[in-house]
């Protein structure tokens, strides 16, 4: 289920909501004041990945097998 960011047009509270469908995303109530029809905000997508190369594989380089920048297996 996607999580959307909303802002209440009545009390201006900002909150996040998990929604199961596009219809549910349009009819969200403010958790602070209870008013229906909070406005969906534009949010930034965030992804997290590995920041360092894997220690289990060979180092990256010219040789696809050993990673030596001088060519296949240091030759």
Summarised one tens digit per residue, pLDDT across range 2-21 is: 888 999 999 999 999 888 87
* Cα dist from 1 to 4, 43, 47, 67, whole Å: 10, 16, 16, 41
More confident residue, 51 or 4: 4
How far, in Å, CA of 20 to CA of 52, rounded?
A: 35
| Position 70 confidence tier, pLDDT thresholds 50, 70, 90 | confident
pTM of the complete model: 0.52
pLDDT exceeds 60 at position 53 = no
Helix-, strand-, coil-residue percentages of the chain, each rounded to 5: 10, 20, 70
How far, in Å, CA of 20 to CA of 3, rounded?
A: 9
- β-bridge partners, 5: 16
pLDDT exceeds 90 at position 68 = no
For residues 8-36, average pLDDT: 87
């Amino acid at each position: 289920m996607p999580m959307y960011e909303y802002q209440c047009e009545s009390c201006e509270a900002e909150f996040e909501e998990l929604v199961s469908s596009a219809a549910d995303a349009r009819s969200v109530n403010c958790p602070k004041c209870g008013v229906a029809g909070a406005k969906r905000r534009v949010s930034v997508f965030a992804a997290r990945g590995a920041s360092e190369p894997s220690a289990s594989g060979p180092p990256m380089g010219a040789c696809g097998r050993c990673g030596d920048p001088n060519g296949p297996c240091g030759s």
